[in-house]
């Protein structure tokens, strides 16, 4: 029997090499008021990079203006390139790699703040934007797939080491996978094979763009194992989708996620449901609506370490490609468990938002394994994505820290 991997050894992810097997998961930064890179955004990623992660992930760089979950998010365009280059240079200077999460929010897109039409498998009402997403035509789908390829090309030009294609959380590709949302009767609806077409075409378009560009960057995807909603994406269907993605050969790894930003966000996070704080992030009448329906929308699930492991094991057993375990990873024991279970990387969100230097401290702690995260999974950070994303327990990332770049 071979010994389990050490999470702190260098590892390859497709064509790139990471100094360890720990990835900072995308946590939307809310640090781009002009939809352009700021020193704040650079600091947000420089801290975990200096803190020891192998790779940090820039959350949600939309492939088009209409694909944003809100209008201040960066979307790929020439004007954003100098800032993105400054960002990748700063992370490389800390010895870490940097990935760009690329995606289209589909029914989760905010048509009001984006000032652009939202697109979904079917006409769909988004209560956050109080707007309808439009039924995506064949041409719309082709445009969005092509926009992912363009985004990958731009990510290479900006110096990113990887792109993470967003196939989760009921965003565009994920909403097509969902039998609950995707009620189409054409070639993109009905059977799983049809519903998976958008996800597979998107990944292959990105892979082809990367191959054509000739610069070796990694291509990963963040895929829902389950939506946690009756009638939504099930583990069985998601596993089949993952097998097709593996067969297609477009990905260097899959990061396994769950939940729906549309109908069941807490399935993604587990722990406390911050209804009051979440409602407080909005103005009336939306605030009142969230207060009244909040307990239903933000349905609570108990938190425990590695809470997605049970489902992720099913994927590990049936797939041979590299997999990234996500969800409730905060200490060395859980990282070791992930390695022992055959996962190739771990991804961490909240624990690194709370303490960007956690990885260095866990590493320095060595065999003692005594370092514990201060993250209480109160999830109040979720409500801060509408202003400046931060941990309410530690105040991190410290906005006063000068990025110096």
Number of residues that bind ligand FMN (CB under 6 A): 24
Q: Rule CB under 6 A: is residue 273 a binding residue for ligand FMN?
A: no
- The residue from 126, 178, 182, 389 that contacts ligand FMN (CB under 6 A) is 389
Query: Residue 187 has what DSSP assignment?
Result: T
CA dist., res. 303 & res. 13, Å (int): 29
Q: Rule CB under 6 A: is residue 339 a binding residue for ligand FMN?
A: no
Give me 228's structure tokens.
Answer: 């946690």
Q: Which residue stretches of 252-371 are H helix? A: 266-269, 275-280, 286-297, 309-318, 332-340, 350-354, 358-365
The size of the chain, in residues, is: 405
> Which C-beta is closer to ligand FMN: that of 126 or that of 214?
126
CB atoms within 10 A of CB 34: 11
- Find tokens 């009921």 and name the residue: 170
The three-state secondary structure class of 281 is coil
> Which C-beta is closer to ligand FMN: that of 44 or that of 188?
44
- The residue from 23, 26, 205, 337 that contacts ligand FMN (CB under 6 A) is 26
> Which C-beta is closer to ligand FMN: that of 11 or that of 100?
100
CB 27 to ligand FMN: min, Å = 4
Q: Rule CB under 6 A: is residue 148 a binding residue for ligand FMN?
A: no
- The residue from 66, 106, 121, 328 that contacts ligand FMN (CB under 6 A) is 328
- The residue from 159, 349, 356, 397 that contacts ligand FMN (CB under 6 A) is 349
CB 261 to ligand FMN: min, Å = 8
The three-state secondary structure class of 83 is helix
CB 341 to ligand FMN: min, Å = 16
- Give the per-residue SS3 of 10-62: CEEECCEEECCCEEECCCCCCCCCCCCCCHHHHHHHHHHHHCCCCEEEEEEEE
> Which C-beta is closer to ligand FMN: that of 194 or that of 360?
360
Measured from each CB, the residue nearest to ligand FMN is 349
Q: Identify whether 386 is a catalytic site residue.
A: no
Q: Which of 325, 183, 168 is nearest to 259 (CA)?
A: 168
Any idea which residues carry the catalytic annotation? 171
Enumerate binding residues for ligand FMN (CB under 6 A). Answer: 25-28, 59-60, 101, 166, 222, 257, 268-269, 326-329, 348-351, 381-382, 385, 389
């Amino acid at each position: 029997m071979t010994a389990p991997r050490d999470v702190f050894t260098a590892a390859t992810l497709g064509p790139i090499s990471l100094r360890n097997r720990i990835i900072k998961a995308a946590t939307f930064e809310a640090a781009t008021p002009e939809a352009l890179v700021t020193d704040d955004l650079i600091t947000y990623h420089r801290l975990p990079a200096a803190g020891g992660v192998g790779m940090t992930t820039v959350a949600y760089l939309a492939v088009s203006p209409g694909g944003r979950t809100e209008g201040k998010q960066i979307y790929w365009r020439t004007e954003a390139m100098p800032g993105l280059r400054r960002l990748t240079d700063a992370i490389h200077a800390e010895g870490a790699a940097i990935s760009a999460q690329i995606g289209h929010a589909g029914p989760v897109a905010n048509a009001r703040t984006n000032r652009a039409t939202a697109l979904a498998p079917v006409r769909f009402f988004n209560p956050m934007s109080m707007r309808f997403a439009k039924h995506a035509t064949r041409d719309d789908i082709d445009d969005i797939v092509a926009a992912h390829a363009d985004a990958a090309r731009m990510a290479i030009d900006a110096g990113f080491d990887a792109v993470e294609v967003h196939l989760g959380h009921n965003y565009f590709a994920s909403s097509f996978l969902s039998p609950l949302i995707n009620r189409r009767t054409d070639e993109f609806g009905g059977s799983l094979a049809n519903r998976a077409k958008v996800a597979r075409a998107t990944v292959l378009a990105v892979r082809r763009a990367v191959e054509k560009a000739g610069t070796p960057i990694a291509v990963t995807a963040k895929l829902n194992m389950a939506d946690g909603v009756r009638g939504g994406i099930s583990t069985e269907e998601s596993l089949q989708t993952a097998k097709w993605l593996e067969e297609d050969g477009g990905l260097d790894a899959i990061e396994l996620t769950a939940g729906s930003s549309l109908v069941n966000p807490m399935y993604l996070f587990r722990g406390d449901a911050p209804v009051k704080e979440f409602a407080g992030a909005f103005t009336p009448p939306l605030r009142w609506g969230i207060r009244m329906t909040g307990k239903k929308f933000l349905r609570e699930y108990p938190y425990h370490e590695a809470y997605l492991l049970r489902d992720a094991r099913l994927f590990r057993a049936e797939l041979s490609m590299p997999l990234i375990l996500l969800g409730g990873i905060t200490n060395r024991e859980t990282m070791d468990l992930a390695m022992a279970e055959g996962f190739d990387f771990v991804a961490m969100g909240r624990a690194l938002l709370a303490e960007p230097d956690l990885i260095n401290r866990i590493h320095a702690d060595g065999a003692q394994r005594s370092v514990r995260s201060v993250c209480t999974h109160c999830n109040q950070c979720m409500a801060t994505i509408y202003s400046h994303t931060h941990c309410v327990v530690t105040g991190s990332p410290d906005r006063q820290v000068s990025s110096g770049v």
